[in-house]
A and B are shown apart, each in its own frame.
Chain A
Amino acid sequence: DGGITQSPKYLFRKEGQNVTLSCEQNLNHDAMYWYRQDPGQGLRLIYYSQIVNDFQKGDIAEGYSVSREKKESFPLTVTSAQKNPTAFYLCASEDRVGDTQYFGPGTRLTVL
């Protein structure tokens, strides 16, 4: 089955630690995205990548980093520089036809 997977589903981090969230897709999509969602809020764009080995900052990139070494993978690192990282993180990939984005199940990050 084609789709997007994210791991882990729940992640707990101590203050000062970096953590990496995994996102993998087998839909053969070129574009991939990372969003952050806070309770009762919409999705805010962190980083996006339109093609392998290239990525761009979104609206709230500070304290985050990404890489895109493979078409299938777009990991997100939440660094210690991110002051308020507790949130629901969603990864998506895009089908260019109709601008449809397909989302993974998300990772809920909690900073202790």
Chain B
Amino acid sequence: GQSLEQPSEVTAVEGAIVQINCTYQTSGFYGLSWYQQHDGGAPTFLSYNGLDGLEETGRFSSFLSRSDSYGYLLLQELQMKDSASYFCAVGGNTGRRALTFGSGTRLQVQP
């Protein structure tokens, strides 16, 4: 099976930088994704890492180390609207392309 670990909550102030870590255990790996979900809303795709290294999209960056089964999401210049839950997800279990999601990290941005 597949399992992912991420912190349950993170608090930061506006303008700061925050890093949300994700470690995973999986058989057959083909990528780590990150999704954002505001309260009551649907998850929206943020980033995908298929290979080791850093992917940057505006204020958000995501990193993957396949040898360490580890990745992180980096949010810079935090804004109040970034308060949400962030989920890491992996795909690629043998014979199944569906994603397995972590339990999510709730980010609270304070003024």
- Interface on A for B, CB 8 Å cutoff? 31, 33, 35, 40-45, 48, 50, 56, 58, 90, 94, 98-106
Contact = CB atoms under 8 A, between A and B. Distances in A.
B43 A31 contact: no
B72 interface: no
B99 A101 contact: yes
Contacts of A58: 98
Contacts of A35: 101
A33 B98 contact: yes
Interface in B32-79: 33, 35, 41-45, 48, 50
A111 B107 CA distance: 30
Interface of B: 30-31, 33, 35, 41-45, 48, 50, 87, 91, 96-104
Given A42-B102, A43-B87, A99-B33, A90 B43 contact: yes
30 contacts: A33-B98, A35-B101, A40-B104, A41-B103, A42-B101, A42-B102, A42-B103, A42-B104, A43-B43, A43-B87, A45-B99, A45-B100, A48-B98, A50-B97, A56-B96, A56-B98, A90-B42, A90-B43, A98-B50, A99-B31, A99-B33, A99-B97, A100-B45, A100-B48, A101-B45, A103-B42, A103-B44, A104-B42, A105-B42, A106-B41
B91 A103 contact: no
A43 B101 contact: yes
Contacts of A45: 98-100
Nearest to A104: B42
B50 to A, nearest CB: 8
A31 B50 CA distance: 19
A43 B48 CA distance: 18
A16 B44 CA distance: 34
